[in-house]
Every structure is written in C-alpha cells, then in structure tokens.
Amino acid sequence: MHASCSCSWESKTIPPRRDNDWDLQSRFKLKSKLKMYLLPGLSFGVILYWLLSTYTLGSLGREDRLGLEGLLEETRGGPGHSGVGGFIVERSWAQYSPYFPVEEYKAPPSGCTIDQINIIQRHGARFPTSGSSKTIISAVTKLKAVQDTLVDPKMDFIRNYTYDLGTDDLVEFGAVQSSQAGEEAFNRYSHLVSPDNLPFIRADGSERVVLSATNWTEGFSIASSLNIPLSSILIIPQDSNDTLDDNMCPAAGSSDEQTGEWLGAWGPDVTTRLEEGAPGANLTLEETYALGTLCAFDTVAHTSTPPNPSTSKDTRTSKLKLKLSPWCNLFTQTDFKALEYAGDLDKFYGTGYGQPLGPVQGVGYINELLARLTDSPVKDHTQTNRTLDSNEETFPLGRGLYADFSHDNQMIAIYSAMGLFPQSSPLPPVPPSNKPDPSRTWKVSEMVPFGARMVVERLSCSGSSYASASGSTDKDKFVRVLVNDKVMPLAFCGASQEGSCRLDKFVESQAYARNDGEGDFEKCFDV
C-alpha cells in the first residue's frame, strides 16, 4: 500500500511500500492502518523533531528558501548572455526550467474566502529521459574525441568533463523544490485541512512523479508541525486508465515535424559555430539541440551544498544552490531564445492546441476537477478509471485540498482542454526572420517548468459585487485558476477583473470536457 511515503523514518513506523500499483483491497484497510501507525503519534512526532533538530532534514526548514536567488546571482555574473535586458537564462529552458513563480501570489478578492483547492503539479527537476540522453551522450562523446584540438577556450572544460547524469529520475534539487511546494501549500492553505480533513493526494505511477508527491507530502506535513500527518498517496499505474498521464491516445501525433522545421532554421548556424570551436567534431543538428538542453540538465543535476551544514547555525547557508553548468557558456542569448521556442513548439504541437488529439487527453482530469468543485460524482467516458472514481475511498468528495502529481505533456493537455493560454493562431514552426515573437503568450517556461503547478481555487464569496442572490450556495461559489502563481484571466467564463468566474459559469464553459471531448476521444483509437 502506498500509505504515506518512503520517508527516512519510514522503517520505524510505516509498513514498507509495495510496487507502483494500487491495491484496492489494501486501500480499504488503509484507514485502520493509518490509525495504527498514527496513533502512537507522539513518538512519531518526537522522532521527527529529533531529526529536524539534528539538521538531517535541514533542507526542509522553513527559512530554507531554495536556490533560485543563488541561481540568479550566478546567472547575472555569467558571461555574455545573462542579466542583459531582463533576460534570465534559466527561465529560457522551456520545460527544463526550474520552477519559479511567474507572478507574486495574490490573495483572493475581498469578500471571498477559499474553500477548496485543487492542485495539479509536475514532478520536480529530473535527469534527461533515456531517449534524449542518448543524443546528449553522443554529442559529448564527439566533443571529447577532439578535446586535444579544441579552439574555443570556452570549451576547455570539456577536457576534464565527465558525463555523470542518470536517466529519468528526480534529482535532489527537484526533490527539494517539491518539498518546498508542499510547505508553501500548507502555509497558504492550512485553513482547508485538519486531521479530520486530510489532503487527498494522487500520483501518476512514474517513479519521479511518485517521489515528487512523497516529498511534497513530507514538506506539507512538516510545515504543519505534523498536525497533518503524512497523507496516503493513491498511485495510478501508467498502463491503466490514468488521468495524470498522456498514455491513452494512441492515434495522437507528435510535434516532430514542427520542431524539426524550427531546428532546421536556427540549428545550422549554431552547429557551425560549435564546429569552429571544436573542429572535426561533426555535430548533427540534433546533437546541437541536445547540448543546449544539457546546459539545463547539468545545472539542475549539480547542486552545491555548503561544506559543513551541521556546524552552521544559519539555515540559509544550508540551502541547495544551482550553479550554471559550463555547457551554458557555449550558447548565446539568441540561442537560448531559439531553444526555448523549440520547447514551446514541442508542447503546442505535442499535446496543446496544435495537436488535434492533444486537449482530449486532459478531459478526464477536467471532469474529475468538475466533480470535486461541484461535490458530485464524476461523469466521464474518457481516461478516468470508473472503478476508482466511483469509490469514495479512492475518489472522495468534500475534501478541502486535493493534490495530483503528473507530467508536463499531460498538464499541457489539461490547460488546453480547459481553455487556458488561448491562441488566436497556431505557433509558426519558423517565425519571421527566425525570431520568436517575444510577446507570445505560449511560453512553456511559464506553463510547465519542472515543479509547475496549476491551482484551482474554489471561492466562497459574499457581498454585493459577488453574490448575486442569497440563499443559493452555488451562486456564492466562484473559481479562480492560477498557473505558477499567476492568476489566469478566464475570459471563457466571463471572469471579473480579478480573474474569478462564477462556479456555474465555469462548469458551463467546460463543455468540451463535459461532452467527453466531443468525439475526439473515439478518434484516439483510429489507428
């Protein structure tokens, strides 16, 4: 059972976890088991506090704001392509950008209180997938092969460089950011949870997603001083009906055509420049792109911790710091803008509006969201698992806080199914003069960076400007959607200036989901 998490104290109090597969029968026993290991809550708490006080969990301390500031400093100090004109290099890495809030969080409009939240969050920073690491490794190998005849001094580091990244897994920085997201969620929404109204948490079955969820849960619980025990996590296997992954639409196409066109436009010049610095390396266009992504992957994989955290009394110095990888120095600001646009195209034509069968893959989640927002059973005939969703143990209604853990492609499908980030025309695979429009509103770095989150807040509002009629509770309910802390305008449901829509208008606006994708889901199987 996936009750709770694989935390460091798990062996002391929590039964060992099984494989990534959800056992409904044991789920039924969960409540009693939870009681069993939470009843001796005192000793549990004591152990945890001891751990905290000995800094074993120091990286989770409240003061401990992770690395981005540190990273920004590094970036501004970096050569050539940083700080200039407000350009922040690590925010140009599209889906490989580390999480950052796009705007400062704003409290809901006055007269409104939040009475439910639904979070869907991407796993934290990870290693390259096994597929993309193959190209990265071949590029690095080619450069190493000519390391004795490198011409560009910025490439000198290659002589001493050893590629040491794993594949697919969450990196430490990603784990810490996930935990901080849990801490932030508690600090922001603590009034919605209590020992009798625990967060309800689900994760797609991929390991990095599950670990992001357990780290989040740990951060949440610690921020609550353990008043909120570690929640159980419902893990949804990837080979089953899964609303947290884009795995159920075999006929959906890919973005290869559009990203290939774009690479053909910006890649040759950059490849030529790299070749001039490393004569004889013979990099392909794909390898040039791969080296650009290595800047991001190598950076998030190598965090520095202070030499002696246990002797330091200042938790601020014990934070993880990102330091830009030397690979980043091989690319200019213009290159990074091109790389960023490659990510934007990839997601737009992968599961976004540019993919005819993209948005439909987000429908199952939207229907689950509507069920939670309206406290009524799920109505869906797409990706949901009807067995899970019709059981109150595995799909409870009436909770204050729901958190689901997922992937970038799936979150893009969900945004597009909902109608977020609307586009008046498709993204051009090759923009005029090879310059991506800087004012475009489809920027993947701001949509699905590592650790990205969409939060749907249900508001309960009173007062003349909000409640149009008294007596009916539904009329006092509003919805606000934030993506990475930026309030979405929700024009599709007639939102106020402040971005809140009446709940009934919001539900009405979700006709595509309520109609099971209006025939698109069936097309998923026309292969």
In angstroms, what CA-CA distances link 210 with 174, 392, 406, 407? 12, 22, 9, 11
Residue 215 sits in the site that holds ligand NAG (CB under 6 A):
yes
Instruction: Yes or no: say if 417 and 359 are a contact pair by the CB < 8 Å rule.
Output: yes
Residue 302 sits in the site that holds ligand NAG (CB under 6 A):
no
Distance CA(73)–CA(155), nearest Å, equals 23
Residue 151 sits in the site that holds ligand NAG (CB under 6 A):
no
- Taking the alpha carbons of 356, 362, 363, 366 in that order, is the dihedral positive or negative? negative
Residues with a known catalytic role? 123, 408
Distance CA(127)–CA(497), nearest Å, equals 40
Q: Which stretch binds ligand NAG (CB under 6 A): 212-220, 353-361, 407-415, 448-456?
A: 212-220
The minimum distance between CB 160 and ligand NAG, in angstroms, equals: 4
Beta carbon nearer to ligand NAG, 24 or 46: 24
Provide, for the chain, the percentages of residues in helix, strand and coil under a 3-state DSSP scheme, each rounded to the nearest 5.
Answer: 45, 10, 45
Q: Which of 249, 315, 262 is nearest to 56 (CA)?
A: 315
Region 276-295 residues binding ligand NAG, contact defined as CB under 6 A: 280-282
Region 174-203 residues binding ligand NAG, contact defined as CB under 6 A: 175
Instruction: Yes or no: say if 406 and 120 are a contact pair by the CB < 8 Å rule.
Output: yes
The minimum distance between CB 10 and ligand NAG, in angstroms, equals: 8
The minimum distance between CB 390 and ligand NAG, in angstroms, equals: 9
CA end-to-end span of the chain, whole Å?
36
Interface pick for ligand NAG out of 11, 24, 77, 194 (rule CB under 6 A): 24
Interface pick for ligand NAG out of 103, 156, 261, 375 (rule CB under 6 A): 156
Residue 261 sits in the site that holds ligand NAG (CB under 6 A):
no
Q: Which stretch binds ligand NAG (CB under 6 A): 34-42, 46-54, 153-161, 365-373?
A: 153-161
Region 237-256 residues binding ligand NAG, contact defined as CB under 6 A: 240-241
Grouping H, G, I as helix, E, B as strand and the rest as coil, residue 333 is helix
Residue 233 sits in the site that holds ligand NAG (CB under 6 A):
no
Q: Which stretch binds ligand NAG (CB under 6 A): 79-87, 211-219, 409-417, 491-499?
A: 211-219
Backbone phi and psi for residue 68, each to the nearest 5 degrees, phi listed first: -60, -40
The minimum distance between CB 464 and ligand NAG, in angstroms, equals: 45
Residue 387 sits in the site that holds ligand NAG (CB under 6 A):
yes
Please state, as a whole number, how many other Cβ atoms lie within 10 Å of the Cβ of residue 120: 26
Which CB contacts under 8 angstroms, 24+ apart, belong to 520-525? Answer: 520/356, 520/357, 520/359, 520/360, 521/249, 521/360, 521/363, 521/381, 521/382, 523/251, 523/356, 523/357, 523/360, 524/248, 524/249, 524/250, 524/251, 524/252, 524/357, 524/360, 524/361, 525/250, 525/251
Beta carbon nearer to ligand NAG, 7 or 513: 7
Interface pick for ligand NAG out of 106, 110, 145, 257 (rule CB under 6 A): 145
Interface pick for ligand NAG out of 90, 218, 408, 476 (rule CB under 6 A): 218
Residue 405 sits in the site that holds ligand NAG (CB under 6 A):
no
The minimum distance between CB 344 and ligand NAG, in angstroms, equals: 28
Q: What is the residue-wise DSSP string for 405-430?
A: EE-HHHHHHHHHHHT-S--SSPPPSS
Residue 153 sits in the site that holds ligand NAG (CB under 6 A):
no
Beta carbon nearer to ligand NAG, 8 or 473: 8
The minimum distance between CB 33 and ligand NAG, in angstroms, equals: 17
Q: Which of 27, 25, 7, 29 is nearest to 16 (CA)?
A: 7
x/- map, 345-384, ligand NAG, by CB under 6 A: ------------------------------------xx--
Q: Name the DSSP class of 339.
A: H
What type of residue sits at position 25? Q
Q: Which of 60, 53, 68, 54 is nearest to 7 (CA)?
A: 60
Residue 25 sits in the site that holds ligand NAG (CB under 6 A):
no
Residue 486 sits in the site that holds ligand NAG (CB under 6 A):
no
Beta carbon nearer to ligand NAG, 230 or 338: 230
Residue 32 sits in the site that holds ligand NAG (CB under 6 A):
no
Strands 501-502 and 321-322: unpaired
Interface pick for ligand NAG out of 165, 170, 252, 412 (rule CB under 6 A): 170
Q: Which of 488, 493, 354 is nearest to 420 (CA)?
A: 488
Grouping H, G, I as helix, E, B as strand and the rest as coil, residue 298 is helix
Beta carbon nearer to ligand NAG, 14 or 461: 14
Alpha-helix residue ranges (DSSP H) falling in 19-86? 24-28, 30-38, 41-53, 68-77
In angstroms, what CA-CA distances link 66 with 306, 316, 479? 13, 9, 30
The minimum distance between CB 214 and ligand NAG, in angstroms, equals: 3
Residue 5 sits in the site that holds ligand NAG (CB under 6 A):
yes
Residue 159 sits in the site that holds ligand NAG (CB under 6 A):
yes
Cα-to-chain-centroid distance, residue 180: 13
Counting residues that bind ligand NAG (by CB under 6 A) gives 30
Given the rule CB under 6 A, which residues bind ligand NAG? 5-7, 22, 24, 142, 145-146, 156-157, 159-160, 170, 172, 175, 211, 214-215, 218, 240-241, 280-282, 381-382, 385-388
